[in-house]
Amino acid sequence: MSTGNQVTIIQKDITDDVNRSLTRLQDDGLILPLNYNASNALKSAFFKLQEVQDKNGKPALEVCTRESVANALLDMVVQGLTPAKTQCYFIVYGSKLQLNRSYFGTQAVLKRLSNVKDIWANVIYKGDVFEYEVAGGREKLVKHETNFENRDNEMLGAYAVVKTLEDEEILTVMTRKEIDASWSQSKTGQAVHKKFPQEMAKRTVINRAAKAYINTSDDSDLLVDAIYRSTENEYDERVDVTTEEVKLEIAEHANREVIDIKPDATPPSTKQQPAPRTKQPVDDPHGFAADVPPKEQELDF
């Protein structure tokens, strides 16, 4: 069988599984965005997946378990994301495929939360005029004045503003020291942070601002769980995807963690020996693998 035919069969089988699970989740109360087409998003994802490789140059669809591919795709559609709009992308970790949100994807997801009308972030540079106050126990932006030339100056911090449905604007501010402390807790190195500090800083402060909204959201637990999982995947808070950045991430991060899989898990096109159950079970929240207790997750935006 040709490689193209194998990919077509894999795509059909996994897409069918994802669609069945998505239907079940919608019956349980999940609501997708009105303008979101899950079928088109899945087609776009498989198109991108054919280009994804691990650090050894092996195709993701060969080295990743079927369950991890299906879980990543289901988390994508639950959050209403699509690679076609650079809202998300995929990284190979060992034999597991993980979904990662881009900066745009995180903004899109947060706008789906109840009472969030909009969210944005800006960087504070040396030479800027930045003022804020605390009113009623909440931080509020008073003024931010900057010049084009300041963008080449030292980055002093960043802030995010969440605009509620009532048009209240809630500010979250982080100093450079606080941002660096957050980056120091990343899973691996900080090459991406150093290469794209401005966008990474905005991503970090947006995640910090969103934490309270996610934890107190009245939205579907299914959506919130998917947001948590993909946030954990990108704990080092990756920036918008470009070809150069993805190559950098793969070189820095891919396959540095040993991902334990369930005993009978096999990649789409190759058979593996059963993995021992003495290690940590696979994170398989959607039931594509055997029923195993989920690992505890502690997330810090």
**pLDDT tens digits, 156-183:** 999 999 998 889 898 999 999 999 888 8
Structure tokens at 294: 């989920």
Residue 141 pLDDT: 96
| pLDDT tens digits along 119-133 | 999 999 999 999 999
68 burial via Cβ count (<10 Å: 0-12, 13-18, 19+):
buried
Distance between CA atoms of residues 114 and 165, nearest Å: 8
Select the more confidently predicted residue: 248 or 10: 10
Q: Could you tell me what percent of the chain has a pLDDT over 70?
A: 69
Q: What is the dihedral of CA 251, 240, 121, 197, to 10 degrees?
A: 30
- Of the CA atoms within 13 Å of residue 212, those in its CB half-sphere come to 11
Residue closest to 60 by CA, chosen among 120, 14, 1: 14
98 vs 75: CA distance, rounded Å? 10
Q: Residue 195: what pLDDT?
A: 74
Structure-model confidence comparison of residues 274 and 67, the more confident one:
67
Query: Three-state SS across 161-219?
Result: EEEECCCCEEEEEEEHHHHHHHHCCCCCCCHHHHHCHHHHHHHHHHHHHHHHHHHCCCC
Q: Which two tokens stand for residue 90?
A: 């995929």
Tokens of 259: 């991902």
Mean pLDDT throughout 188-192? 58
In angstroms, the Cα distances linking 170 to 71, 132, 164 are 34, 11, 8
Q: Are strands 169-175 and 155-164 parallel, antiparallel or unpaired?
A: antiparallel
DSSP one-letter string for 218-260: -S-HHHHHHHHHHHHHTTT---S--HHHHHHHHHHHTT-SPPP
Q: Quote the pLDDT of residue 251.
A: 54
Average pLDDT, the chain: 76
What confidence score (pLDDT) does residue 111 get? 84
pLDDT of residue 284: 57
- The residue type found at 52 is V
**Residues contacting residue 102 through CB under 8 Å, at least 6 positions apart:** 86, 87, 88, 89, 238, 239, 240, 241
Confidence band, pLDDT 50/70/90 cuts, at residue 10: confident
Would you call 1 exposed, middle or buried from its count of C-beta atoms within 10 A (0-12, 13-18, 19+)?
exposed
Secondary structure letter of residue 289 according to DSSP: S
Q: Average pLDDT of 213-225?
A: 71
Q: Specify the range with the lowest mean pLDDT, choosing from 18-27, 186-195, 275-284.
A: 275-284
Mean pLDDT of 264-293: 46
Assigned token pair, 261: 């899989």
pLDDT at residue number 217: 67
State the DSSP code for 82.
-
- pTM for this entry: 0.66
Residue with the bigger pLDDT between 253 and 33: it is 33
- Any bridge partners for residue 144, and if so which? 130
Q: Which tokens is 218 given? A: 């009245």
